[in-house]
Amino acid sequence: MEMNPIESLRSTSLNTLTEEEEMLRSMVRDFASEQLLPRVEAMDKNAEYDPDILKQLFELGIMGVEIPEKWGGGGGSFFMSALAIEEVSAVDPAVGVLVDVHNTLIVKALLRWGSDELKQRYLPQLATEKIGAYSLSEPSAGSDAFGLKCKAVPDGDDYVLSGQKIFVTNAKEAEIFLVFATVNPANGYKGITAFILESGQPGFTVGKRESKLGIRASSTCEIFFDGCRVPKAQVVGEVGMGYKVAIETLNEGRIGIGAQMLGLARRSLELGIEYAKTREQFKRPIADFQAMQFKIADLATDLEAARLMVYNAARLNEEGRPFVKEAAMAKLMASRVAEKISSEVVEIYGGYGFTTEYPVEKLFRDAKIGKIYEGTSFMQLQTIAKTLLGQDGSGALW
């Protein structure tokens, strides 16, 4: 008999981490506070990563959490990837999204869909030295993710790619790209195919880097294909099944973005509480005022709700249970909570919160993207609604 989801949730406490998970979280938290934190301000100002940080991400195994040990990875779980993303994002969400895209989109796509040859060739590189990027969006294909114009025309043992991609996260740093193109436009979304490409190939160009409101150290670029030849062996999955690769990886990636927003929200609230306890007005800390106490209590409650939703979605995923609705809910909630908490904490700081002297304004800027990328909040609501309305008609939510 299948266990009731409520009973399952109670029997496996989301607050309890295994020894291995706790060790990973502690290691990533120490790295973030000791190595990453001193560099955050400069990376945001310069709009680029410190190369030493990227090197350390690989050395510590953060870029290969789920990659099996035989390919140089940590052999960990999806939940552990989410923990790593959360802890990095609690210090710098711009580094958090690099870790997220690399682990939950590129690595997961290869683990599930890559041929043995592609796994053996690319997973060791992704675990130890080379950053991955995910290329789906186009000028005419945003929320309509399958309205792709980028074409892949078969030619002998190759496909020849032509077209443009936009908003490619990690594009400047990446050396391995997962690219979606249409092999047969007449077949609609069933003509979409996923390919693995490497930077530097003839006909493959990384274009301008966008100047962004937040997560400024993270590179977001256009890429162009002009007669770029890709061997047919570089197809990820099957020809015409790229839509399935995209859907499944994005469903998991949304949990990663939920974890990113969770880390951001947690750090914002920690800073707000710390400031409220030390900032004095009317000869007493502002934390002594009931209005401030209630504000903090309200934000902490929102944070806990978001945390439980993100953790629950991650646990369901690693247990092989249905998680699409929960992933959409987790991203929706975590992005809302991150925006709310970071905004409220700016107000807790008052005028100081509006200056770049304190870190809360950066977290506020970084939070906005959570409602936009890897599926806007509207798309999450649509996914949730379709899942609920497509059930057996009983009206049961659990």
| CATH code for position 160 | 2.40.110.10
Residue predicted with more confidence, 45 or 8: 45
Residue 388: is its pLDDT beyond 90?
yes
374 is catalytic: yes
Question: Is residue 395 one of the residues assigned to a domain?
Answer: no
Q: Quickly state the pLDDT bin for 3 (edges 50, 70, 90).
A: very low
Same domain, 33 and 126: yes
Same domain, 280 and 364: yes
Domain assignment of residue 309, given as a range = 243-389
22-31, 142-151, 230-239: least confident range: 142-151
Question: 10 Å Cβ neighbour count for 153?
Answer: 14
* Cα–Cα–Cα angle for 145, 151, 153, rounded to 5 degrees: 145
Same domain, 224 and 325: no
Please give the sequence-ordered ranges of beta strands (E in DSSP) within 129-246, or none if there are none. 132-135, 151-155, 158-169, 176-182, 192-198, 204-209, 220-231, 235-236
Same domain, 103 and 233: no
Question: Is residue 346 one of the residues assigned to a domain?
Answer: yes
Residue 6: is its pLDDT beyond 70?
no
Q: How confident is the model over 257-310, as pLDDT tens digits?
A: 999 999 999 999 999 999 999 999 999 999 999 999 999 999 999 999 999 999
Q: Give the pLDDT mean for 77-86.
A: 98
> Angle at which helices 19-31 and 78-89 pack, to 10 degrees?
30
Same domain, 309 and 337: yes
pLDDT of residue 146: 78
Q: Give the pLDDT mean for 23-39.
A: 98
Tokens of 343: 């905004």
Total number of domains constituting the chain: 3
* Cα–Cα–Cα angle for 260, 237, 311, rounded to 5 degrees: 25
**The domain boundary residue, chosen from 131, 163, 178:** 131
Question: Is residue 255 one of the residues assigned to a domain?
Answer: yes
Question: Is residue 138 one of the residues assigned to a domain?
Answer: yes
Question: 10 Å Cβ neighbour count for 140?
Answer: 11
Same domain, 61 and 126: yes
pLDDT of residue 147: 84
Q: Is 0.85 topped by the overall pTM?
A: yes
Same domain, 204 and 143: yes
* Side-chain half-sphere exposure of 161, counting CA atoms within 13 A: 32
Same domain, 360 and 269: yes
Q: Quickly state the pLDDT bin for 345 (edges 50, 70, 90).
A: very high
Residue 65: is its pLDDT beyond 60?
yes
Same domain, 69 and 184: no
Question: Is residue 394 one of the residues assigned to a domain?
Answer: no
Residue predicted with more confidence, 253 or 9: 253
Q: How confident is the model over 121-173, as pLDDT tens digits?
A: 999 999 999 999 999 999 988 888 778 999 999 999 999 999 999 999 999 99
pLDDT of residue 10: 37
Q: Quickly state the pLDDT bin for 394 (edges 50, 70, 90).
A: very low
Strand partners, 231: 158
| CATH code for position 74 | 1.10.540.10
Same domain, 26 and 114: yes
Residue predicted with more confidence, 11 or 16: 16
Question: Is residue 398 one of the residues assigned to a domain?
Answer: no
Q: Give the pLDDT mean for 326-347.
A: 98
pLDDT of residue 392: 42
Mean pLDDT of the chain: 94
Question: Is residue 379 one of the residues assigned to a domain?
Answer: yes
Same domain, 247 and 385: yes
| CATH code for position 326 | 1.20.140.10
Same domain, 19 and 67: yes
**The domain boundary residue, chosen from 100, 131, 162:** 131
**The domain boundary residue, chosen from 131, 155, 176:** 131
Q: Quickly state the pLDDT bin for 14 (edges 50, 70, 90).
A: low
Residue 15: is its pLDDT beyond 50?
yes
Q: Give the pLDDT mean for 226-236.
A: 98
